[in-house]
Amino acid sequence: MNDRTRADVIVIGAGIAGASAADALAADCSVVLIERESQPGYHTTGRSAALFAPVYGPAPIRALTRASAAFMSSPPEGFSDNPILSARGALFIAREDQLQAMQALHDELRAEGNFEELDGTGVRQLQPSVRDGYAAAGLYDVNCEDIDVAALHQGFLRRARARDCTLVTSAEVLSLEQLGDGWRVQTSAGRFEAPRVVNAAGAWADVLGQMAGAEPIGLIPKRRTAMQIAAPDGAAVGGWPIVVDVEEEFYVKPVAGQLLLSPANEDHDVPCDVQPDELDIAICVDRVERAFAFRVGRIETRWAGLRSFVADKCPVAGYSAEVPGFFWLAGQGGYGIQTSPALGALAAALVLGEPLPQTMVDEGVDLATLAPERLSA
Ligand SMILES: Cc1cc2nc3c(=O)[nH]c(=O)nc-3n(C[C@H](O)[C@H](O)[C@H](O)COP(=O)(O)OP(=O)(O)OC[C@H]3O[C@@H](n4cnc5c(N)ncnc54)[C@H](O)[C@@H]3O)c2cc1C
C-alpha cells in the first residue's frame, strides 16, 4: 500500500460509483479511494444483472445512460482488454391482463428507441421457450446489451491508480471530522485527510452522511434476489434475449451458457451483506415456470444485492448544502453500472467546480434532477 494519507479528494466506497468518480477525479487531482472490504465490488456492484438498457428507468436515468453509451461501446485505448458491451436484446412480454401496462410502456418509450411490436405468435417466434398461450404481446428492443461489469469496474480502478489515485482496501470508515476547511477520515486502517470527501458508500451512504453531520437523503436499500440455473435441456441459450415481464414480475437472462432468473423484487432492507430469501426464490421459480415451457431444476447459485433508491428513484450527485466539502454520490438504484461512465465524470466535474461537459447537456442530463437539495424541497 502507498503510504499517502493526504489528498485533494477522499472517495469512500470502491464500488462502480466510487471507482468511476475516483478515475475521473484522478485525471486532475490526487485521490485516496477507501474501501471497507478486501475486494472492491463485493457488494452491489458484484451482484448485478449486468445489463445496459437505454430504455430502463426514469428520464434522468435514461439521459445518463445515453451519455454513457459512447464510453461503453468504445472505451478509451488501454482501458480494457475485452469489449465492455456485447449484443443481447430485450424482449418485454405481457399477458392478456397486462396489455394496458404494455401500452403504457410503449407510449412512454415510443420517442426513444426502435422497437418491434409483437403479438403472442411473434413473441414465440422470437423466444420459443415462452409457454404457448402465455404472452399476448411483446416489445423487442435490440439496443439492450450485456455489460462486462468486471472489465468496466477493473478498468476504472486500473486507470485511476495509473493516474493519481491510491486505493486503500480493508479500511472501514469509522468517523468523519471537519478540520478547518477540510476533513479527517478515521478508518480501521489509519487516518486520511483531504479538503473534500465523496460519499460513494452505496447502501451505506446515509450512514456516512450521518457521520459527517449532513442532511439525510432518505436512501432506502431494496433487496433484489437472483439465481442461476443450468440451461434447460442443455439448450444453447447464449443467443436468447433477456425476457422481462412488462410489470417487472420477473426476468430471465442468459449468462455464460446458463440462465439468470430474478423475481425483480424490491424489498425494503437495511445496509448489510444481504442474503437471498427462500421465499423470493420460490416466487421466482413459480413465475418463471408459469411463463416458460421449461422446469427450473437445480439452482446452481443464488444471491441478493441491495439496489438503493431515494424517493424519486434518481441518483444524488452534488455537494451537501449543510456540510462544506461533503459530496453525495448515491442512490444509483438499479442503474448504477450502465450510468457509471457519465455519473463518474459528472461527479468529478462538480467536485472540482467545473461545468457539466457539453456532451452530457446535449443528452439531456439536468443537474437539478440530481441535486441533493431537490430531496428537501
Ligand atoms: C440483482 C441486481 C441486478 C442489477 N442489475 C443491474 C443492471 O443490469 N444494470 C445496472 O446498471 N445496474 C444494475 N444493478 C444496480 C447496480 O448494481 C448498482 O446501482 C451499483 O452497483 C451501485 O454501485 P455503488 O458503487 O453505489 O455501490 P456498491 O457496489 O455497494 O459500493 C459501495 C461500497 O462502499 C463501501 N462502503 C460502505 N460503507 C463503507 C465504510 N464505512 N467505509 C469504507 N467503505 C464503505 C462498501 O463496502 C461497498 O464496496 C443491479 C443490482 C442488483 C442487486
Measured in Å, residue 107 CA sits from the centre of ligand 1 at 31
- φ/ψ (deg, to 5) at 303: -155, 170
How many Cα atoms are found within 13 Å in the side-chain-facing hemisphere of 267? 14
Pocket of ligand 1 (CB under 6 A): 12-18, 34-37, 42-45, 47-51, 172-173, 200-204, 208, 224, 226, 262, 305, 307, 332-338
The closest residue, in CA terms, to atom 51 on ligand 1 is: 48
Atom of ligand 1 nearest to the CA of 171: 43
pLDDT digits (tens, 9 = 90+) for 9-28: 999 999 999 999 999 999 99
CB 196 within 8 A of CB 9: yes
pLDDT digits (tens, 9 = 90+) for 292-339: 999 998 999 999 999 999 999 999 999 999 999 999 999 999 999 999
Averaged pLDDT, 172-201: 96
pLDDT above 80: residue 79: yes
Determine the pLDDT at residue 230.
95
3-class SS at 145? strand
Determine the pLDDT at residue 11.
98
* CATH class of the domain defined by 9-71+148-219+313-376: alpha beta
Measured in Å, residue 16 CA sits from the centre of ligand 1 at 7
The closest residue, in CA terms, to atom 13 on ligand 1 is: 334
Name 4's Cβ contacts closer than 8 Å, sequence gap at least 6: 30, 32, 166
> For the chain, what are the domain ranges?
9-71+148-219+313-376, 90-142+220-309
Sign of the CA dihedral running 370, 372, 375, 377: negative
Determine the pLDDT at residue 360.
97
Identical fold between 9-71+148-219+313-376 and 90-142+220-309: no
Atom of ligand 1 nearest to the CA of 208: 41
Measured in Å, residue 151 CA sits from the centre of ligand 1 at 16
Measured in Å, residue 371 CA sits from the centre of ligand 1 at 20
Determine the pLDDT at residue 234.
80
Closest to 98 measured CA to CA, from 205, 211, 247: 247
How far apart CA 372 and CA 322 sit, in angstroms, is 10
Q: Which pTM was predicted?
A: 0.97
Cell numbers standing for residue 173? 470508515
Measured in Å, residue 306 CA sits from the centre of ligand 1 at 7
Ligand 1 pocket mutation, candidates 45, 273, 329, criterion most atoms within 8 A of CB: 45
How many Cα atoms are found within 13 Å in the side-chain-facing hemisphere of 374? 16
Number of H helices, E strands in the chain: 10, 21
What pLDDT band is residue 377 in, cutting at 50, 70 and 90?
Answer: low
How far apart CA 212 and CA 205 sit, in angstroms, is 11
Name 97's Cβ contacts closer than 8 Å, sequence gap at least 6: none
What pLDDT band is residue 1 in, cutting at 50, 70 and 90?
Answer: very low
pLDDT above 90: residue 111: no
Atom of ligand 1 nearest to the CA of 336: 19
CATH, domain 90-142+220-309, list 3.30.9.10, 2.100.10.30, 3.40.50.10900, 3.40.50.720: 3.30.9.10
Atom of ligand 1 nearest to the CA of 211: 41
Closest to 297 measured CA to CA, from 233, 241, 236, 239: 233
Measured in Å, residue 45 CA sits from the centre of ligand 1 at 4
Ligand 1 pocket mutation, candidates 44, 157, 185, criterion most atoms within 8 A of CB: 44
What pLDDT band is residue 3 in, cutting at 50, 70 and 90?
Answer: low
The closest residue, in CA terms, to atom 4 on ligand 1 is: 48
* Mean pLDDT computed over every residue of the chain: 96
